[in-house]
Amino acid sequence: MKVTLIGFGNLGQGLARVLLEKEEYLEKEAGVFLEIVAAVDSGGAVTDEGGIDIEELLEAGESEDTVAEYLDGGEKGTSALEVIRNVDSDLVVELTPTSIKDGEPGLTHIKESMNLGKHVVTSNKGPLVVAFQELEKLREDTGVEFRYSATVGGAMPIFGLAKGQMSGDSVSEIRGVLNGTTNYILTRMSEEGAPFDVVLSEAQELGFAEEDPTLDIEGIDTAAKVTILANAFLERNVKLDDVDVEGISRIGPKVTQLARDTGYEVKLVGVANSDTLEVGPKLIPSGDPLAVKGSLNSVTLKTDLAKEITITGFGAGPRETSSALLGDIVNIYKSVGG
């Protein structure tokens, strides 16, 4: 299967590194044969329909140059759309930065790929937040595969479990701690009494939080994930604006420690069911599966047959995201017969 990578930053390089590490296993054990035939970053693209050497591609990613400047066959200024339209590939992996306002440029990349009959895997929340139903209809109309496990929960197999092993179950409610940055901050305040601003700065230094942490601490990132889960599992045609959102910026160590002293933890929880779409700080009993610590995420699915199932894991990071991306790629490969 010929693969095009759109976006070769941390996530694109992380996926390429995992593909290199797992190459022997994928081919000999899983019977999955993949070739990266194009990679696009902000400076241009490199293409080779015979397959790009992944080690050389990773060297380009680690250099100060763009892939177009570093590698033979690179073309500066070549856009992602030009590559999607002109390079013969079976699968497009869309890894550009997220815009939850308009979903671009990922939304256009995904739609163009589908219209050209190319399967799509993405980690990009933006397109699903603004156009979930449109993309699902396009998937049905074009007959391509469209997978987005990496948009929610990183390495946690939420979509694989609910739409695979538990596909006979009806999900009635989703509750989750879906943002590692806020969970790290709340955990540190609870356990050590550290001030909010100090812990936030620490999270930024450790790479848990962005330079501008607004989307995380104001609950918007969690709300985007709740929107995707509600559309995917509850068949609700909702947008980000439909979610009631409150972040954690008003929560201080006195609140978290008082909660802990009475047997509770304060967590930023997203909830979706037939009546409710909300994100906000909640008191969670210390023994509850959602009372996870540090940067962990946790999601509880309430279903008709299995009752309640909880999945816990790391929700962010190149390797964790690569786990979800690779799972989607392998599932598509097997679904379409390579």
Supply the pLDDT for residue 97: 92
- What is the residue whose two structure tokens read 């140059």? 65
Written out in words, the top-level CATH class of the domain with range 171-314 is alpha beta
Annotated binding-site members: 7-12, 125, 210
Instruction: Give the closest residue to 268 by CA, choosing from 324, 308, 213.
Output: 213
CB neighbour list of residue 275: distance below 8 Å, 6 or more residues apart = none
Supply the pLDDT for residue 38: 97
Give the tokens for residue 23.
């190459």
Instruction: Give the closest residue to 18 by CA, choosing from 43, 42, 45, 36.
Output: 36
Q: Give the amino acid at 18.
A: V
Domain residue ranges in the chain: 2-154+318-336, 171-314
Q: What is the pLDDT of residues 71-117, one digit of tens each?
A: 988 999 999 999 999 999 999 999 999 899 999 999 999 999 999 99
Q: Is the pTM of this model over 0.85?
A: yes
Catalytic residues: 225
- For residue 81, the SS3 value is helix
- What is the residue whose two structure tokens read 């899983």? 30
Average pLDDT by stretches of 10, the chain with 338 residues: 96 96 95 97 94 96 91 92 98 95 97 98 97 97 97 91 85 96 96 94 84 94 97 94 97 96 98 97 97 95 94 87 95 90
Supply the pLDDT for residue 154: 85
Supply the pLDDT for residue 203: 86
Annotated binding-site members for NADPH: 125
Q: How many CB atoms lie within 10 A of CB 102?
A: 14
**Quick check: do 2-154+318-336 and 171-314 share a fold?**
no
Measured in degrees and rounded to the nearest 5, phi and psi for residue 174 equal -125, 130
226 membership: H or E segment, kind and range = helix 220-233
Arithmetic mean of pLDDT over the chain = 95
Written out in words, the top-level CATH class of the domain with range 2-154+318-336 is alpha beta
